[in-house]
């Protein structure tokens, strides 16, 4: 699959098969995430995979996102930024932690797609409830939940702006 085909195949999946993810595939995805670039190579991120092997934590993480479809996912990757490890632009003190983490997460999503898996960015989860469930050191902040697994739906046609609207 070439890169354009991979980009076309990646979508936000909201229906998953009840099927475990093979360890080799998760190892491959983890390595792709590890190789993601970041500003000044700081890699200001941490990831935690939760699934049925941790039933209480898995159930509680699902409760932080109030949509029914989340209950059927086989695994969720918790994506956190580490503000104290990020590069900050000195001219305006802009932190690049969110940018760096977004790059790593999209590496995750594309690698999963390449492996026949599907993902969905979930950012609209209850942060306060999440903090009660997953204690974190000072300076670490949850940014996204990435459900991951084998899709049980099909890719709908992509609707994108015209090239002229996005490229000036």
Place of tokens 């306060």: 128
pTM for the model: 0.95
Q: What distances in angstroms separate CA 69 from CA 7, 40, 43, 73, 142, one per listed residue? A: 24, 38, 31, 7, 21
Strands (DSSP E) found in the chain: 45-51, 75-82, 88-89, 94-95, 118-119, 140-149
| pLDDT more than 70, % of the chain | 100
The string of pLDDT tens digits covering residues 122-166 is: 999 999 999 999 888 888 999 999 999 999 998 888 999 999 999
- What is the distance between the alpha carbons of residues 65 and 121, in angstroms, rounded to a whole number? 12
Residue 122 is encoded by which pair of tokens?
A: 């979930």
The domains of the chain, with CATH numbers, are: 3-153 (3.40.109.10)
């Amino acid at each position: 699959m070439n890169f354009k085909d991979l980009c076309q195949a990646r979508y936000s999946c909201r229906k998953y098969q009840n099927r475990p993810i093979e360890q080799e595939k998760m190892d491959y995805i983890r390595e792709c995430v590890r190789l993601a670039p970041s500003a000044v190579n700081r890699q200001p991120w941490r990831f935690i995979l939760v699934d049925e092997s941790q039933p209480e934590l898995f159930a509680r993480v699902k409760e932080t996102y109030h949509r029914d479809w989340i209950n059927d996912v086989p695994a969720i990757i918790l994506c956190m930024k580490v503000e104290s490890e990020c590069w900050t632009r000195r001219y305006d003190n802009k932190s690049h932690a969110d940018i760096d983490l977004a790059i790593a997460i999209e590496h995750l999503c594309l690698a999963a797609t390449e492996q026949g898996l599907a993902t969905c960015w979930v950012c609209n989860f209850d942060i306060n409830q999440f903090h009660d469930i997953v204690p974190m050191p000072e300076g670490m902040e949850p940014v996204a939940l990435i459900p991951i697994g084998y899709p049980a739906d099909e890719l709908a046609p992509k609707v994108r702006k015209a090239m002229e609207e996005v490229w000036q």
